Every structure is written in C-alpha cells, then in structure tokens.
Amino acid sequence: MFTGIIEEMGVVRALSKARQGSSVSILAKTVLEGLKVGDSVTVNGVCLTVVGFDRTEMKADISPETAKVTTLGSLKAGDPVNLERAMRLGDRLGGHLVTGHVDAIGTIRARAQEADALQLMVEAPREVLRYCVPKGSITVDGISLTLNEVTDRGFRVTIIPHTAKVTTLGIKQVGEAVNLEADLVGKYVERLLPGRESGGQSDIKIDKDYLQKRGLI
C-alpha cells in the first residue's frame, strides 16, 4: 500500500526487453535507503517488486501484462520516473490509499499556467471516471491529487509548484500518457451498492441511515 506522496524522481538507466517480460534499472537515492529484495516500489504509479539493487540503482521486472496496460511498456533509458516505497504501519498518510494497481492509461489534453500553479486536463476512460467526484482523490503517475473538476471525458487537477518540481508532472506535455488509479474507497462503496454487480442501476437512497447500517460511518 502507498500514499501517492512521491519520495523522489529516479532516472531509467537501462531497460531490457524479452518475450517473457522486461526488466528496468533505475538510478535513485532516497528509495534505496533500507531497501530489500522483495520490497515494493511504485514506478510512475505501478507497484513493482525489487529484484536487485546496489548503492546507486534498483532493478525490477515488468511483466508483459504490466507493460501492456500501463505506460511502463514505453519507458526508455533517460526517462525520469516517480518513485515511492511502500508505506509502513504508523506512517503519516499524507495523500490517500494507493494500491499501485493501475486502472487505465489517461492522456494529458490541456496544460495551462494559472498564477504559480499548473492546471492539467486529463482525458480518462469511463472505468476511471465512474469513481471520480469533485474534491475527491485520483492517482496520476503515482501522485495523489485532488480532483478539481470532472467532466464526461476527463478531469482537471491543479499541480502546485512543489509537486511540479519534484515529480514528472512538472515536465509532462499535452499528448503524453499517464497512469491512472481511481480512489480505492469509491470502488468498495460501489461494490456494496445493490444492482451494481450485474451492471444495473439502483434507485436506493444513499443517506446517513443507509451508510450507518452498513458500517460505513
């Protein structure tokens, strides 16, 4: 489990591809502290298992499925990547609960500077937008962000100067792809709603009484 608070930007040193999968070597510093083989690290929001490391870099395998459904399949040497180690019990939850299991790939459709902040409009598929609500949470390339606007085709997020400086969103341009993970809580709430398993619509009233009976508040 992760928080969506990026610890550092690493740089892809090498990427080897084979029929059975790929492996990536990433130059890093902060995430190497206390690292062990078998630990989990998110790379641009994708949870990967560390299979080797030394004083300057870590190595992880990328399965064919992961390469297919995330942007990791298009990584190349020299690319910057967002890195976060798995959280520990007792850590502050500065962002929101992030699993590192990407739901879909989105595309940056607009980028505009507003005062000292950066506004990004991201096109997203329906399977992500169904869990998006204004002022809710979304993970973009591993970064926990607040949804400022949600449309039928995408959403808008604001990137503060600090986030722009320490993550790849500060340099991402219009047309570039990003990994998206919807809020985990929204997925569980949907699972509890009658009629959702079969794809049907429910006319049930979601009020305080309903939530209390199901232990949600």
The rounded mean pLDDT for the chain is: 90
Percent over 70 (pLDDT), the chain: 91
CA dist list (Å): 177 to 36, 106, 127, 184? 30, 6, 16, 22
Q: CA 168 to CA 42: how far, in whole Å?
A: 14
What residue spans in the chain does CATH classification 2.40.30.20 cover? 8-85, 104-189
pLDDT digits (tens, 9 = 90+) for 140-164: 999 999 999 999 999 999 999 999 9
What predicted TM-score, i.e. pTM, was given to this entire model? Answer: 0.86
pLDDT digits (tens, 9 = 90+) for 4-18: 999 999 999 999 987
Q: Is 136 exposed, middle or buried (0-12, 13-18, 19+ CB in 10 A)?
A: middle
> How much is the average pLDDT of 27-56?
97
pLDDT digits (tens, 9 = 90+) for 68-79: 999 999 999 999
Q: Say if residue 200's pLDDT is above 80.
A: no
Give the pLDDT score at 20. Answer: 79
The more confident residue out of 97 and 28 is 28
Q: Which residues pair with 40 in a beta bridge?
A: 49
Q: Is 8-85 a domain of CATH 2.40.30.20?
A: yes
Give the pLDDT score at 194. Answer: 61
CA dist list (Å): 40 to 36, 94, 103, 167, 216? 9, 18, 18, 19, 29
Give the pLDDT score at 111. Answer: 97
| Domain formed by 104-189, architecture | Beta Barrel (2.40)
Q: Say if residue 139's pLDDT is above 80.
A: yes
What is the signed CA dihedral for 79, 23, 180, 69, rounded to 10 degrees? 120
Return the SS3 of 64: helix
Q: CA 38 to CA 86: how far, in whole Å?
A: 11
The more confident residue out of 186 and 125 is 125
Percent over 90 (pLDDT), the chain: 76
pLDDT digits (tens, 9 = 90+) for 166-190: 999 999 999 999 999 999 888 888 7
Q: Is 104 exposed, middle or buried (0-12, 13-18, 19+ CB in 10 A)?
A: middle
